[in-house]
Amino acid sequence: MTETLTIKAAYDVGAIRREFPALNRDVKGKPLVYFDNAATTQKPQVVIDALVNYYSHYNANIHRGIHTLAEEATAAFEATRDAVKDFINAPSREEIIFTSGCTEGINLVAQTWGRANLKAGDEVIVSNMEHHSNIVPWYLICQEKGAVLKVIPIDENGELLMERFDELLTEKTRLVSVVHVSNALGTINPVKTIVEKAHKAGAVVLLDGAQSTVHLDVDVQDLDTDFFVFSSHKVYGPTGVGVLYGKKHLLEEMPPYQGGGEMIKDVAFDKITYNDLPYKFEAGTPNIADTIALKAAIEFTKEIGKEAIRRHENDLLSYATEGLLQIPGLRIIGTAKNKISVISFVIDKVHPQDLGILLDNRGVAVRTGHHCAQPLMDCYRIPGTTRASFAMYNTKEEVDSLLAGLQKAVKLLV
């Protein structure tokens, strides 16, 4: 990473932006304004370099080879596991399982822990603001096992109704799986309280950290969560890589998720001995290059500092919120007291898709639709929203471009 000292001494967004090649391009003759960071973040040059370096210098399969390239690749791959362990303060590296992303991590828990532990009449609790990837896996396993899926409702501000959560918790509750931060609203949920209450009721907890890990300081030991998932591509790393953290005693009790190479110690036709953690859950050749590059993304983020990034993003959030509220007919969806730098909104008589097209014509990239959270949209009785989500490299000048585009759109469409 270049200009590190400058960035650390004072938050120099210009220096940070120069680390991200994609931000230099134009879209339809306009400088790119990228506000779709909750969907995926852009990648710094150090991440791109890590990918190129692997494929250029030590491309090899890992763990079983004894030649130099295989040993170098294995060392780099396992170094990422150590980096992730430190990043989320996991107790041991054996508790870090590499997946393809949050979706696979949640499915892994549902199909292994869920299949082994749920039975007819048991209860699983999710919330009304969940991403589909934290609804569908639990729906499927509940259907299979005859378990009951229960939902924590939210209020108009987009905050969980915790008194209703208390009522939903019973002696039949086996698992609570909730999003740490809402992708559609930006709401930061009181997950530590949720974990404490769930544990008192004898339930296991999974936290979906897809949106929280890039913005908040995550400490799985402090949260005391049983499972935690996040995706590389949300934290400035490559796509196709994710992390499942699980408490060791739970992972040891869970059956394998997939069968194949690496997840075994001995194979015979009449008996198979599974590998130790974490490899029991990492069947086959993994996504080696992208996993290695995740370490570069973590180091990049830590070098700038999450606290400094958070201050910058919160400043953008306040600035954008103030400007959006000046636009006639605009209503922000999700006004929780504690939220990250995500703003979802609707404008009277304007369809979000039309808004997204007009903004794209001005080089402004936002996300429109239900954001894989249809039950949440149904709660607000809307088909979808327009969502602007901010990252470490965004600026107030870019927010001004968004506001100008919205003002023009209102004149054209209303």
The residues annotated with a catalytic role in the active site are 372
**Contact, 43 vs 23, CB < 8 A?**
no
As given in the structure block, the two tokens for residue 97 are 């399982």
- Give the chain's count of helices (H) and strands (E): 16, 17
d(CA 353, CA 348): 13
Q: Which residues of 151-172 are buried (b: 16+ CB within 10 A; e: fewer)?
A: bbebeeebbbeeebbeebbeee
**Farthest CA pair distance, the chain:** 72
As given in the structure block, the two tokens for residue 215 are 């913005």
Burial grade of 67 (CB within 10 A; 0-12, 13-18, 19 or more): exposed
d(CA 362, CA 405): 7
For 307, 325, 345, the CA distances from 322, given in Å and listed in that order, are 23, 5, 13
Closest C-alpha to 350, from 383, 317, 399: 383
Closest C-alpha to 360, from 409, 395, 323: 409
d(CA 390, CA 368): 15
As given in the structure block, the two tokens for residue 319 are 């600035």
d(CA 7, CA 298): 16
d(CA 292, CA 69): 14
